[in-house]
Structure 1
Amino acid sequence: MSGRGELTDAAWERIGPLLPKRGGRGRPWRDHRQVVNGVLWRRRTGAPWRDLPERYGPWATLLEYLQIRYDAVRRVDWTVSVDSTINRAHQHSVGACKRRAADGGTLEDPGHSQMRQALGRSRGGLTTKIHLAVDGRGLPLSIVLTPGNINDATAFSQVLDNIRIPRAVTGRPRTTPARLLGDKAYSSWAIRHLLRRRGIAAAIPERRDQMANRRRRGDKGGRPPAFDKNIYRTRNVVERCFARLKQFRAIATRFDKLAERYRAGIVIAALVLWLREPAADYLSDRL
């Protein structure tokens, strides 16, 4: 039996055998299902860790499990869409430990600390931007965090590099989408060149200033980039994915001080989205 928002028995049957078994010396691990359900409860409610119900175990133990990574599935729609969303950072997310200088003296500059923890100041205050790549069904393949004031194109190469799905049996992991869909924020020469070099077809609309500049140059401006409007219409799967992820309150608003913990919570929520797909076969070498 599972409670509201917890892993169902069917979902647990998929991922339970994939979790690592405790070996060697040391304290025994807490029940994996209890731990994962505790993390899901916190993601869903946005409550502080210290308010975690006792049935999920000590809150400090759960923090050790936040670096959860999932391997992907055998069947993926490799028409990949990319986009980003800005989430406001709660005041509790500010104040992570700053690095000290080598001599143990001056603290790290607050601006550098915020950059390292993916916090950026904009009109709405401190924010974090989630950069996402999803497959054709809107399931997350790559998650990258930056401060909220970072341009989408700046993080694109990292988002693309983070797409990595191991093969079912042997062979190198697949890292190359068949086609990539992005809005005008990704319309740059550097991004289009990167996609051509990797053999990835692009469906990215050209910005007006780029069209005007090309026309102004005449024959030297070159041909307009290929753009398929029909395929581009399917890009809304990434917007729908953001809407599903933001059903978790601790994702819609950032409460975590450390960027790695906030991202780990997003990975856990992404895992839940994968588990809700009835036709998917799950593989993982670590969770």
Structure 2
Amino acid sequence: MNDSYLDKIASIPGRVRRERPLIHHITNMVVMNDTANITLFIGASPVMAHAAEEVAEMVSMARALVLNIGTLTPGLVDAMLVAGKRANELGVPVVLDPVGAGATRLRTDSARRLLTGLKIDILRGNAAEISILGGRDAEVKGVDAAGIRGNAAEIARDVAREYGLVVAITGKRDFVSDGNKIAVVDNGHALMGNLTGTGCMSTSIVAAFAAVERDYMLAAAGALALFGVAGELAAEKSSLPGSFKTAIFDEVYNMNEDTLRARARVQVFEASEADRL
């Protein structure tokens, strides 16, 4: 990877900590406490405001908006649309996490409703969720990816082009694309897959980065690299899930520019190279 790209990634956490942007979440009740904490630990400020009567006012104070359909209801989706439209009016970046899209009609239809009704800036999900939203076949088991047809890099590129946004697909390797280029992030640890909510937490970090960095592909790739490095460092301290969770929180909190620059493994390719990634 070109050193200047790595330098840009490494500089983002310091900017988040200096600016302490407010990140408005309308999110998953299963991991709401964890996503609030990870937002704090990266240096931003979380607010979890879901009521349709207040979301437009709340997002007016925010620097980024997270929409996560993990525990959706029709009323919650309506609140997301209200908040998202106000965010669009104000130029506040919107990050959508389409948890479980493809598992049920409600989830798939709700994710598509948000994608078509709002200007989403970053779509962060697993390969199956993103594949389904791109009109491809995939298998989803509950809220987890069970299988896709095709190449995750190509899916990221094609869905980015279809919706005019940045796509971040997370898994053993992470793929981030704006439709023109693809960033491949090779950080992380298998233990991260044993914790509920690591995907949701990564979405919160992506939003915190997008609050201070308007190159959304750079912001998403940098956020996923940081979270992956934190997972690697946490695994050096614990191989058990409970203590690993505490350790990954600590490593996100402790992450500095030098560590991120030294350990981030990110490569950027032309979109035409997707079929070989």
TM-score by length of 1: 0.27
Q: Greater relative contact order (Cα 8 A, min sep 6): structure 1 or 2?
A: 1
More strand by share: 2
TM-score by length of 2: 0.28
Please identify the structure whose Cα radius of gyration is greater.
1
